[in-house]
Every structure is written in C-alpha cells, then in structure tokens.
Structure 1
Amino acid sequence: MSVEIISFEPKYAPAFKALNIAWLEKYFYVESHDADLLENCEQTIVNKGGFIFFAKYQDNIVGCFSFIKVDEKIYELGKMAVDPKYQGLKIGQALMNHAVAFARTNNWNKILLYSNTKLENAIYIYTKYGFQEIDLESDTPYERSNIKMELLIN
C-alpha cells in the first residue's frame, strides 16, 4: 500500500469538509465550531498559521487532518478523518506519523487534541504515539470533547 501525505491546496477543501462531516455525523453531529472551521478551511485554519494535510491513495483523497495554531509552538491536532471505505489500511497511522514528524521538524513544543473516550480506536492510536491525558478545561471548543491530550515534542 502506498499512501502519499500531501499539503493543502484549495482544490482539496471540499474533500476536507466532506471527510469531516461524514465522520462527525457518524459519531456525533456537526457543531458550530466545526462548521466554522470546515466551511472555509483555508481562511479559518491555513491563513491563521495552521496546516492541513491529506492522505492520497490510488489518486483518491482518503484522509486528512489539520493543525490549528494555538500559540507559536503549540498546535491543536484536529479534523482527522479517514474515509470508511479505506479504514483498516493504516491510513490514520500514516497521517499520525506525518503529524508527529512535521511537529518535530518545526521544533514545536507540543501538540494538543480534543477527543471523546467513546472513540476507543482513536484514543488507542493517540496513546501509542505518546499522547497523554491532561486536564480538560470547562470551556472546550467542542461540546463532544470529554478528553484532552497532549504530546510534548521538545
């Protein structure tokens, strides 16, 4: 299997939105913060110092994730999704490998993420990559979040 991780281009914005909406509607619902980020991801993520990456497999965009800038060397890992038709091919792990390597290359201090403990496979992968649970603030950006994790880079 050959998965290529590619950087954001405006032509991929509809795939970013579609992958995330499908994932959100499967497990939760699209919250207003999600809609804000997905409706115009170039403006709300990339133009604010963040990054979006895609997994390309057999000429199809099959997965994605974003880094939302929190601080100069702190980013939130979010909007990670893999097309259900391609799950089980370790695409999520390829995305995570790229995410951690990108953070290290850029000398970030840490990566944060918000999740939900009902997503057992996701929590397992995050833990496998060294993320540790930290205190969840009371005003989280997502209503569905019941766990916050961080990965210290440097």
Structure 2
Amino acid sequence: MVQIVPWAAEWAPAFETLNREWLERDFSVEPLDEALFADPVGRILEPGGAIWFALEEGRAVGTVAAIRGGPLVFEMAKMAVAPAAQGRGVGRALAEAVIAHATAAGADRVRLLTDTKLAAAVRLYERLGFRRVAGAGVTGYARGDVQMELALPPGERGTSVPRGVNKAA
C-alpha cells in the first residue's frame, strides 16, 4: 500500500532522484530544475508551497510539489512516479494532495506545465478536471508544450485541511 506524506528531510534526496529519472529519460535537466533540486526548502516550501512523497514499504516511489504562484494560484510541479509504481493510482493521489493543499490555502486555481510526450500524465490531469489554457505565460523551460489549469470551487476554498496527506493510494 502506498501512503502520501508531506515533506520530511529524510525524503529530500528522493525529490531529486525521482525527478531526474524521468527528466533524463524523456527530456533533459534544465537550469531551473537544478535550482529547485539544490534548494527545495528555500524555493518551494518557505514561499508557501509544499512537497509530498508517495511511500511504499519504507521507500519513496513518487513525489510532487505545490509551488505558490501568487496569493490565489499554485503550480503543480515536479510530479514523478517510479516506473515500477506507475499505473496504480500513485500519480493521482499525489495530484489530489496538491489540489487539496491549494484549496485549503484559499487558491482559486492550480496550474501546471506538461508535454504531449507525457500522454499518460496529460490524461490524468484531464481526468482530474484540468483544462488546457493558451498563453498562460513564460514557463522558463525548453520542454513543456501543454499548459493546464484547474479552477477550484469557491465554496471549498480556505476551509479544509489538505486531503491526500497520509492518504493511502
């Protein structure tokens, strides 16, 4: 069984390792990636973001970050699931943790950048209610030809404890 847990220093190396695996396989590691890997606390957590890990039998098999993009916006970023754990709902559980966090923080939307090359990821995001948006801004990455956004329901914003934390996938 997979459990979704919030950032803990002991899992920090997995944030980089899991992400490097898919980046090096499908694209390349870019300067912005390196900056996030070098200082996830300063670049993601301290500005009001969050990072979660999917744990299975004491080892991290997935990770995702929620990066604050303003008072009402979070970016879902650095979603990575180990190949052996794919297809079992791990990515969905991680994405739900980001959505719950953004909702609880009072955000009105979650954005993300993905690529058509990552067809399974695009399908997951669409099933979660994300819609493609055009011209959402400069991304800072050479990769990524699909920008998506999920509008969060106003009645739920800022009222709940983030779901998905310590949730079994």
TM-score relative to the length of structure 2: 0.85
RMSD between aligned residues: 1.3
Query: Is there any run of 5+ residues in structure 2 with no aligned partner, and where?
Result: 155-169
Does structure 1 residue 38 correspond to structure 2 residue 65? no
Match of 1:105 in 2: 104
Match of 2:78 in 1: 79
Contact kept, 8 Å, 1:136 with 1:146, in 2: the verdict is: no
Q: Spell out the pairing of 1:23-102 with structure 2 (5 A cutoff).
A: 23-102=22-101
Residue 100 of structure 1: CA displacement?
2.0
Partner-residue secondary structure (3-state), 1:111:
strand
Match of 2:16 in 1: 17
Q: Deviations over 1:8-64 (max 9, x none)?
A: 112211110100011101110001011111112111111121110111111111100
Amino acid in the other structure paired with 2:126: T
Supply the distance in 2 between the matched residues of 1:144 and 1:26 (Cα, whole angstroms): 13
Q: Deviations over 1:121-140 (max 9, x none)?
A: 00000000000011135632
Aligned residue pairs, count: 153
Seq. identity, %: 34
Query: Is there any run of 5+ residues in structure 1 with no aligned partner, and where?
Result: none
Supply the distance in 2 between the matched residues of 1:3 and 1:138 (Cα, whole angstroms): 35
Distance 1:16 1:107, change over 3 A: same
Greater RCO, 1 or 2 (C-alpha within 8 Å, sep 6+): 2
Partner-residue secondary structure (3-state), 2:46:
helix
Contact kept, 8 Å, 1:16 with 1:38, in 2: the verdict is: yes
Amino acid in the other structure paired with 2:84: K
Distance 1:145 1:125, change over 3 A: same
More off after superposition, 86-95 vs 120-129: 86-95
Amino acid in the other structure paired with 2:24: E
Supply the distance in 1 between the matched residues of 2:68 and 2:99 (Cα, whole angstroms): 15
Contact kept, 8 Å, 1:136 with 1:147, in 2: the verdict is: no
